Amino acid sequence: MTNTIQILSIEKTGKESSLQKEHNNKSIKIIDGYFFSRNLDDQKFTKISKLISNDVSQTILTKKNVNKVLSSYSNFNWVVEIKFLPGVTDNTATTVKEIIKDNLKSSFKSFELGSTKIILIKGRKEDITKISKNEANPLIQTIKIYPFKKYLKNFKKNQFKIEKVKLPKKKYSKKEINLDISDYHLSLIGKLGIEENDKSRRGTLGLDLESLKTIRNYFSTIKRKPTDVEIETLAQTWSEHCKHKIFSAKIDDIQEGIFKKYIKGATEKIIQLRKDNFCVSLFTDNAGGIEFNKDWIICHKVETHNTPSALDPFGGAITGIVGVNRDCLGFGKGAKPIANTYAYYLADPNKKYQLYRQKNKDPMLPANFIAKGIISGVRVGGNCSGIPTPQGNVYFDDRFAGKPLVFCGTVGIIPKKIKGKLSHKKKANPGDIILMAGGRVGKDGIHGATFSSEELDPNSPVSAVQIGDPITQKKMSDVIIRELRDENLYSSITDNGAGGLSSSIGEMAKESGGFIVNLEKVPLKYNGLYPWEIWVSESQERMTLAVPPANVKKVINRFNARGVEATIIGKFIKKEKAIVKYNKTEILNLDMEFLHEGYPKLNLKTSFPKIKKEKKKIIKKSSLIDKLHKLLSSPNIVSKEFIATQYDHEVQATSIIKPLQGEGRVFGNATAIKPLFDDEKSIALSQAAYPQYAETNPYDMAGCSIDTAYKNLIVSGANSKKIAILDNFCWCSSDEPDRLYQLKEAAKACYDYAVAYQTPFISGKDSMFNDFKGFDKTGKSVKISIPPTLLISSIGVVDKISHLTKMTPDEDDILLVLGNTRNELQDSVYSKIIGYEKAKNPVVNSKDALRTYRNFEKANKLGIINSAIGIDLGGIGIAVTKMAIASKKGLTIDLKLKNKISVDQFLFSETQSRILVSLKKNKLANFKKIFKGSDYTIIGKCTGSDVVEFKDNKKIIKGKILDFAKSYKQNIKGL
């Protein structure tokens, strides 16, 4: 009789060897443990153990063998036991339960089960404490450290315990909230949450005093008190996360707000100018859609998951990626996710920042723990979902120490018409059934939407963390995309993300009028949730569908046949009312108009900020080759191959331009997939952000982001008429006038450059308060704000396979730089690593840029360009060495300088809108014809040798490609 199954691997696992190496200790062993809530008799123990282990590679520990087996590895003396906290998603346990259910049927049921990681070590207690800190996150896991002797005793006496959710079994009675209280008490509700009967608070609502007064006024007109559920719902719906109040607010003299004027305004202007069918669905849906070919639409959406990733990097990132996958599933009638993108803005993983949320306690996770967790979260989310993740980048800066930025994007594809109806149109009709499909609801992520709108401070609720379960989502997604959608069995669909049901149903009901929901019908992970928790919970892997009554049975059966739960939880109605009931008691009854539009509009003022000048740094005297090595190996330029190889970018067999390019495997800045077997068109993807330029000039920063994201697609071979962009603003302290000034400037640049390039914004998102308020190790209070970061993601259509470019020149090719080079070294990688030179920040001249791009496009279509690479961080010098590394072919560069700039300025300036290309000699004449009147410089040729050489007037400086490759492929310290 026992209540645990514990399995260890006979040979050393990869995880064990990395732990052993990291801690310089050969006596470390990991056990996979499963703790059961009831005892297993010997027969069941044998049967279940066999089902969940492999006797070739693993040993099952029993009371009889435990001593002998473990002592054969080492003389262990300490144990760390890591379990998930009650209620945290435990994917392994779910799988084991399913295996048992399938095999033992009803002979073993009604049990709970938790998966556990047990690490054994021979060493000092300090060692195991250190290991436990690196291997577990106290926010989602319990960590127990005890002597090995106690472990053996626990084993023999069945004393391993599973963590169960313990919620008070109280009967729910409707709770009314008195808002006729002082301003002080009213603001407490907004800041700390609704007060429970025991005087404790539920956690922040993110409602300011004015919003609460607006709510009070509404209820005094309808002559009753609000219920707790109503206040919670309004807090979710009105959150910055859901309503983007700052982007829609009046700002200075811009009445309509910067979103309407600059972002949507740009797209509207472009549509008016272009008069084509390229833009299909913009801003209103979960993702933005454009035309791919005459039968298909593609959509793209990029989200951020910053705050959750600061608290639980793995959980935050996996939830970020599977969450944005659902945005595609919720585009129109449901698009199939076909590619993921990522961009991480992180603190230096090699530094110890030692920040605390409260004085001397509640430390921030270490920077390397955050970086590793984020990278693996997206890996597990993307790989397990069978969606390729080809496109991404990572950028490091100390100012992300308090909040990492985690951008996760997804591209989807959907037929234009389904059963003769436009697929991007959807409408929940009155009478349609509200169906919730996918996972169950628990306490996960309660208050996620309201809290991501707030700064990270000591009162941030820790329950605002979810862990994604990609397999549950994959099962659900397969049913929707492959079966239900194409039979037109539902009228509308949307995902459950921030705000959970309150948000998804609230949004969909705009299509029909209103809704009635019966909350007691919602399937729960465990009992004891209050109605308001069910209503706002952000448990993952759920879609909400509007299903005509006649199809409901069929839809539910189809889900169930694929192992997916689907439940009727209410219906859509014509009346413009939002109504929620719990066991027949009405707990919410609001006018739809007030729910969605009742929030007080902000009135923002900006002021010109003090410009933080780049700190002067003495130039280090070193040779050109040495400088190249320093730049190549710097974290923001060094290859990100280690991420590309752990993200499956080949699944779906669509990868056509891969993240690692050329024989020498250079990490490219654009990738392409070919999504349909029967059409040679591809989708090219890229992205760009320049937080390093933000403080100097936010307008130019935004211009550079748009230019780079656009240029990378032109360079990859995309059709310039089929490029769309997405904006993700991650800002800081957005209640301060100078930060708002920077925001307004950046948004203005968005308008100017998008209109100039005729590339529409199709979707966007913002996250306005990426600040950390806490304490350093001495207990001094600190505030760390991220630099304003605007990520521009670009998506474009490449018409023909032959238009796709490569970055590898051939021997005897001529090398040219397209575009003019100016001394724009300010805030460059060079000035950070090598030293400060008096210079300007990069400014995009859209006219010049467009001339270069149009000519490039023309030349490429004619087969004149042999290879090409966009010039960005590190300038021409880095672009040249990357070309040499990728092709493994030597280049010679003639340093003919124009515009009175120095060699270093020429090689390392980050002037925008430039492309390094190579041509076959015999194409030069044709090239010159096309580029007549356009800026370009012939800078050298491809020699095919093993060196890159730079010819100055007199001397020739050489560097070996192999050495450059070594610097470029260095490991990032701390990762």
Partner 1 sequence: MNVLVLSGYGINCENETLHAFEVVGFKGKIVHINDLIQNPKQLNNYQVFAIPGGFSYGDDTGSGNAMAKKILTNLYDQLIDFSLKDKLIIGICNGCQILINLGLVPSLNKKDPEVAMIENKSGSYECRWVDVKVNNNKSPWLKNISILNLPVAHQEGQFMIPINLLKSIKANNLIGLQYINNHKKLAKGQFPFNPNGSKDDIAALTNQNGNILAMMPHPERAFYHYHVPNWQNSTSKKFGDGYKIFMNAKKFFA
Judged by CB under 8 A, how many residues of this single chain contact partner 1? 61
Distance (Å, rounded) from C-alpha 366 to C-alpha 791?
A: 25
Compute the residue count for the chain: 975
Which residues between 510 and 569 bind partner 1 (CB under 8 A)?
A: 561-563
Does 132 interact with partner 1 (rule: CB under 8 A)? no
User: How many Cα atoms occupy the beta-carbon half-sphere of 478 within 13 Å?
Assistant: 14
Site string for partner 1, 45-64 (x = CB under 8 A): ------xxxxxxxx------
Q: Pick from 9, 281, 634, 720: which binds partner 1 (CB under 8 A)?
A: 9
257 CB neighbour count, 10 Å cutoff: 22
Residues 6+ apart with CB under 8 A from 751: 261, 262, 263, 265, 266, 269
Helix (H, G, I), strand (E, B) or coil at 728: strand
Exposed, middle or buried, 293 (CB in 10 Å: 0-12/13-18/19+)?
middle
- Which residues in 462-481 contact partner 1 (CB under 8 A)? 469-471, 474-475, 478
Query: Given the rule CB under 8 A, which of 89-97, 233-241, 529-537, 617-625 is the region that contacts partner 1?
Result: 89-97
The tokens of 601 are what?
């509009």
Taking residue 11's Cβ as centre, other Cβ atoms within 10 Å add up to 8
The single residue among 677, 922, 933, 953 that binds partner 1, judged by CB under 8 A, is 677
Q: Which of residues 617-646 bind partner 1 (CB under 8 A)?
A: 644-646
Residue 660 lies near partner 1 (rule: CB under 8 A): yes
- Name which of 494 and 655 has its Cβ closer to partner 1: 655
Name residues whose C-beta falls within 8 Å of residue 594's C-beta, 6 or more positions apart in sequence.
Answer: 218
Q: From the CB of 703, what's the least distance to partner 1, in Å?
A: 32
Q: Is 195 helix (H, G, I), strand (E, B) or coil?
A: strand
Task: Establish if 13 lies at the interface with partner 1 (CB under 8 A).
Answer: yes
Tell the smallest beta-carbon distance from residue 715 to partner 1 (Å): 14
Of 501, 739, 430, the closest CA to residue 612 belongs to 739
Kindly state whether residue 918 participates in binding partner 1, applying the rule CB under 8 A: no
- Interface with partner 1 (CB under 8 A), residue from 1, 99, 273, 962: 99
Applying CB under 8 A, which of residues 98, 196, 398, 586 lies at the interface with partner 1? 98
Q: Which stretch binds partner 1 (CB under 8 A): 7-15, 315-323, 594-602, 921-929?
A: 7-15
Binds partner 1 by CB under 8 A, chosen from 385, 466, 770, 912? 385
Confirm if 120 and 81 have CB atoms less than 8 A apart.
Answer: no
Binding mask 795-824 for partner 1 (x = CB under 8 A): ------x--x-x-x----------------
Instruction: Give residues with Cβ within 8 angstroms of 584, minimum separation 6.
Output: none
At 783, the amino acid letter reads K
DSSP 225-250: PPBHHHHHHHHHHTSHHHH-HHHHSE
Q: Residue 479 or residue 740: which is nearer to partner 1 going by CB?
A: 479
Residue 341 binding partner 1, by CB under 8 A? no
Q: Which of residues 592-611 bind partner 1 (CB under 8 A)?
A: none
Report phi then psi at 426, rounded to 5.
-145, 150
The CB-of-648 to partner 1 minimum distance in angstroms stands at 4
Task: Supply the minimum distance, in Å, between the C-beta of residue 714 and partner 1.
Answer: 17
> Amino acid letter at 114?
G
Q: Which is it for strands 891-894 and 947-951: parallel, antiparallel or unpaired?
A: parallel
Among 91, 304, 537, 697, binds partner 1 (CB under 8 A): 91
Residue 95 or 589: the one with the smaller Cβ distance to partner 1 is 95
b/e map 786-808, b = 16+ CB within 10 Å? bbbbbbbbbbbbbbeeebbbbbb
Q: Does residue 725 come out as left (phi exceeding 0), alpha (psi in the -120 to 50 range) or beta?
A: beta
The single residue among 86, 138, 363, 386 that binds partner 1, judged by CB under 8 A, is 386
Minimum distance from residue 659 beta carbon to partner 1 (Å): 9
For partner 1, the closer of residues 383 and 496 by Cβ is: 383
Q: Which is nearer to partner 1, 14 or 933 (CB)?
A: 14
The residues near 275 (Cβ < 8 Å, ≥ 6 apart) are: none
| Amino acid in position 735 | D
Nearest distance from C-beta of residue 888 to partner 1, angstroms: 11
C-alpha span between 641 and 344 (Å, rounded):
15
Q: Does 37 bind partner 1 (CB under 8 A)?
A: no
Q: Would you count residue 933 as binding partner 1 (CB under 8 A)?
A: no
Q: How far is the CB of 721 from partner 1 (least distance, A)?
A: 23
Mask: binding to partner 1, 210-229, rule CB under 8 A, as x and -?
--------------------
Question: Exposed, middle or buried by CB within 10 Å (0-12, 13-18, 19+), for 830?
Answer: buried
Minimum gap (Å) between residue 561 Cβ and partner 1: 6
Q: Should residue 253 be labelled a site residue for partner 1 when binding is judged by CB under 8 A?
A: no
CA distance 355 to 406: 20
Task: Confirm or reject binding of residue 23 to partner 1 (CB under 8 A).
Answer: no
Of the residues 11, 126, 198, 253, which one makes contact with partner 1 according to CB under 8 A: 11
Q: Which of 222, 273, 611, 653 binds partner 1 (CB under 8 A)?
A: 653
Question: Residue 410: what are its φ and ψ, rounded to 5°?
Answer: -140, 140
Question: 114: which 2 tokens?
Answer: 């938790």
* Residue whose structure tokens are 């990520």: 791
Q: Compute the least distance from the CB of residue 748 to partner 1, in Å.
A: 40
DSSP three-state, residue 12: coil
Kindly tell me which of 471 and 619 has the beta carbon lying closer to partner 1: 471
SS3 letters across 582-593: ECCEEEEEEEHH
- Give the residue, chosen from 40, 249, 384, 433, that forms a contact with partner 1 under the rule CB under 8 A: 384
Helical spans, DSSP H, in 519-590: 531-536, 552-561
Residues that bind partner 1 (CB under 8 A): 9, 11, 13-15, 17-18, 51-58, 91-92, 94-96, 98-99, 102-103, 379, 383-386, 469-471, 474-475, 478, 561-563, 644-653, 655-656, 658, 660-663, 674, 677, 801, 804, 806, 808
